[in-house]
Chain A
């Protein structure tokens, strides 16, 4: 009886021992011999970026025989939560995708965790390929504030917001696709009269605040944006643009353009309600494009928000080279390949917004609209970033305050007061 028990104990001990041995035998340190490129990104493998970057890796292998590429797909949240810890250790990759903005790439650059790319950017001509609005998120000053200073990242793509129109629904009710602001409100009135809520909205996430910011932008100019986003002057939430935005937004809810019940919905719900043909108009970003193209079963079109020179948008996420990267030259070579015409054109044809593509090489008709709209926008310097950027934690304030505006529990004036308070508290002292 005892021997049987002993055997069980012994085998348990052996099992544990061998488990422990295998668990520590995995410390293959990255070599710095210029023979491996460790690369991390968090784009889905079938998204425009995922496809283009996969091709870039192939291209890199072809031009760098003998170099192995160690690619690891990461989750967005994992990179967000652990970036500063990883970059501070010896396990940092050679190149990785990272979120642009003051609170993310700016913060890491301030902590000295990123490599200064200024020399490479001028030498390899990346600075010439990017337009002014896109470049803003690549450069950070010594306080980690974007817009000026050294280069710490290079984006391969841009993003911007637009109105997506369900053409079938417009046709069914005999309504013309709007090209001016007045036509837009007229069209929405007609939909409301037919008992349809014209705008898909998500109050629990970024969508509602983007409607609001877009309305403010339609009354604003570049200096206004610089004031709000880059702290060039004092931002007043009771100025003409913000007041117009808050009042108009509240008015839109009252008129039924935006459903009161949308205060608690997620962006996914809004996107799905547009795909299902429940709401004819969705105002959101180019990140939906690929999905709509493959899943929308009706005829649709997209256009810039009517009556506004500026719209939300920016350069996409950045390629950054960690300070502790062991093969920096390989990383620079890889960035250079992703900026080449071939990869950029591929990115465009797959539904992304390339920053340095040949407009003539884009063959897909839907994507052509996407890119020509982007070109219009970038030629008039129309990228105005996102409302939650200036202050850390402002996103949550905007979501909860805008929800109150949707439900009508807060008047536009009080809404602007609260935004001002949160903004002033969080804005960095210059």
Chain B
């Protein structure tokens, strides 16, 4: 009885917090299905009077959204897989192999992670131009694989640093090579963490704007988040279509999150128990 009473304020606070989180999405949804005239007459907070899907349809056709979706999945998917692979290889050397000077290596990775992307724009542009990768999706995949792997290495290294050494010793006594220890022992045991990392890498890369904007010039190569920028005019904005575009832009990431939600909670729970 008393515990229930004590829980009340927490519940109310959580409800309010949830409302604040959901409210922007609701406003986007409301305006995405309004006609421009309706928006101008009644403002952004009015209820839509009917279903107006032309904004969604027009945007889809105008930017060839299917192609953009494919590009984004291609780039984010490749980055998620490659960066996770690179992270585990690095972290294996640092966390379990305990190479010399690992503190410094880790410090370097953290530093690389803190570097603002604006600082990377010009160097990356020139390098890509030199090797002929400017305006290819591969260039963005390489850049983000490295950026995400820097964070992944940092995180996985500390996770693997706590790895029970008895298991590894046992395997070594049974005659396992370093390579076999990695693939047969370390990777399977830390799979939940790897899963979480991949989901994060995917969503982070999906939402990247600046580097894809600079590196992907042709419309055929552009990602979803860059396509959303097409609607930002010089002086005017098309509010309803921008909302429609935002809705289309956020949906795939949302679906992806829901699909992998179990992986996420499992990964976090594993960390909590240990």
A interface residues, Cβ below 8 angstroms from B: 5, 12, 15-16, 19-20, 22-24, 26-27, 42-45, 72-78, 81-82, 85-86, 88-89, 91, 99, 206, 267-268, 272, 275-276, 285, 287-288, 291, 294-295, 297, 317
Does B110 reach chain A (CB closer than 8 Å)? no
Min CB–CB distance B272 → chain A (angstroms): 26
Contact for A12 among B81, B129, B136, B219, CB less than 8 A: B81
Contact B74 A22 (CB under 8 A): yes
Q: How far does the alpha carbon of A22 sit from the alpha carbon of B237 in the complex, in Å? A: 35
The yes or no answer to B125 lying at the interface (CB within 8 A) is yes
A26 to B136 alpha-carbon distance, docked (Å): 7
Given A275-B40, A276-B43: A19 and B229 within 8 A (CB)? no
CB <8 Å contact, A75 and B229: yes
Q: What is the CB-to-nearest-CB distance from B267 to chain A, in angstroms, rounded to a whole number?
A: 17
Q: Are B236 and A287 in contact (CB under 8 A)?
A: yes
Instruction: Name the residue of chain B whose CB is nearest to the CB of A24.
Output: B138
Structural contact, A77 and B78, CB atoms closer than 8 A: no
Q: Which single residue of chain B is at the shortest CB-CB distance from A79?
A: B234
* A77 CA to B214 CA, complexed, in Å: 11
Cβ of B221: which chain A residues have Cβ within 8 Å of it?
Answer: 26
Are B226 and A44 in contact (CB-based, < 8 A)?
Answer: no
Which residues of the other chain, B, contact A206 by a CB distance below 8 angstroms? Answer: 235
Query: Is B236 within 8 A of A291, CB to CB?
Result: yes
- With A23-B74, A272-B43 in contact, do A72 and B218 touch (Cβ < 8 Å)? yes
Q: Is the CB of A20 within 8 A of B138?
A: yes
- With the chains together, A272 CA to B43 CA distance in Å? 8
Q: How far is the CB of B197 from chain A (nearest CB, A)?
A: 14
Min C-beta distance of B153 to chain A, whole Å: 19
**Interface membership of B232, Cβ < 8 A:** yes
The answer to whether A294 touches B37 (Cβ under 8 A) is: yes
A45 to chain B: which residues have CB within 8 Å?
A: 62
- Tell whether, in the assembled complex, residue A82 and residue B62 are in contact, meaning their CB atoms are under 8 Å apart: no
Q: Are the CB atoms of A73 and B235 closer together than 8 Å?
A: no
Encode B226-247 as 1/0 by CB contact (under 8 A) with A: 1001111111111100000000
* B220: Cβ under 8 A from any A Cβ: yes
Task: Answer yes or no: B77 CB below 8 A from chain A CBs.
Answer: yes
Is B188 positioned at the interface, with any CB of A under 8 Å from its CB? yes
Asked whether B40 lies within 8 Å of A99 as measured between CB atoms, the reply is: no
Beyond A26-B220, A81-B214, is A295–B36 a contact (Cβ under 8 Å)? yes
Which residues of the other chain, A, contact B231 by a CB distance below 8 angstroms? 75
Measured between beta carbons, the chain A residues less than 8 angstroms from B233 are: 42-44, 76
Asked if A276 and B40 make an inter-chain contact with CB atoms under 8 angstroms apart, the answer reads: yes
Complex contact A19–B217 (CB within 8 A): no
Q: B116-156: which residues lie under 8 A (CB-CB) from chain A?
A: 125, 129, 132-138, 141
Q: Do A295 and B125 have beta carbons less than 8 Å apart? A: no
B34-69 vs A, CB cutoff 8 Å, 1 = contact: the mask equals 001101111100000000000000000011000000
A contact residues around B134 at 8 Å (CB): 89, 91
| Contact present for B229 and A16 (CB under 8 Å) | no
**Cβ of A12: which chain B residues have Cβ within 8 Å of it?**
81
**Would A89 and B214 count as touching, CB distance under 8 A?**
no
Contact partners of A89 in chain B: CB under 8 A:
129, 134-135, 217
Q: Could you jot down 14 A-B contacts, CB within 8 Å? A: A20-B141, A24-B136, A27-B135, A27-B136, A42-B234, A43-B233, A44-B238, A73-B63, A73-B219, A78-B226, A276-B41, A295-B41, A297-B41, A317-B234
Docked-complex contact B232 and A76, CB < 8 angstroms:
yes
Q: B37, B74, B233: which has the most chain A beta carbons within 10 Å?
A: B233
B88 within 8 A of A: no
Among B40, B62, B75, B232, point to the contact of A73 (Cβ < 8 A): B62
Residue of A nearest to B37 (CB): A295
Please, which residues of chain A bring their CB within 8 A of the CB of B218?
A: 26, 72, 91
Q: Which residues of B contact A76 (CB under 8 A)?
A: 232-234
Docked Cα-Cα span, A82 to B213, in Å, equals: 8
Decide: B125 and A85 in contact? CB cutoff 8 A: yes
A23 and B219: CB pair below 8 A? Answer: no
CA distance A42 to B219 in the complex (A): 12
| Chain A residues within an 8 Å CB radius of B91 | none
A267 CA to B226 CA, complexed, in Å: 24
Please state if B232 and A295 are interface contacts (CB–CB under 8 Å).
Answer: no
A16 in contact with B78 (CB, 8 Å): yes
Contact: B230 with A99, CB < 8 Å?
no
Cβ contact within 8 Å between B217 and A285? no
